[in-house]
Amino acid sequence: MNKKLSTADYEAWLASPLTKALKQSHQDKVDAIEKEWLNKCQRYIEIHDAVVKDNDRALDLLRRAETEMRYAGWTKYENDNSARNGVYEQIKQFLEKPV
């Protein structure tokens, strides 16, 4: 049978040590989950920043290589150097893509 608590009984239940202990236990668990979540988010941010930094360094290197290749004449097609043909264009196309 479900018996409805009176307001006084409900307030007494809320003030009871057991109810307070249950609330504190729940809050401790919530706090632990939030702390773990924040730690994971911070780790994700650190990994993201490291990847972005490496990506930026690689792009800077490719930009420098493209400039040097252009000045060295890699824009010209050479019949006798098939390994070189297209490399400059591939780098140029890669750098033109939005990042």
For 12-79, the DSSP string reads: HHHHSHHHHHHHHHHHHHHHHHHHHHHHHHHHHHHHHHHHHHHHHHHHHHHHHHHHHHHHTTTTS--T
Q: What is the predicted pLDDT for the residue at 99? A: 59
Q: CA-CA distance, 67 to 86, in Å (whole number)?
A: 15
Q: What is the predicted pLDDT for the residue at 29? A: 95
For residue range 38-53, list pLDDT tens digits in order. Answer: 999 999 999 999 999 9
Quick check: pTM over 0.95? no
Q: What is the predicted pLDDT for the residue at 1? A: 60
**Residue 81, Ramachandran bin (φ over 0: left; ψ between -120 and 50: alpha; else beta):** beta
For residue range 37-93, list pLDDT tens digits in order. Answer: 999 999 999 999 999 999 999 999 999 999 998 898 888 877 777 777 788 888 888
Q: Where are the domains of the chain?
A: 7-96
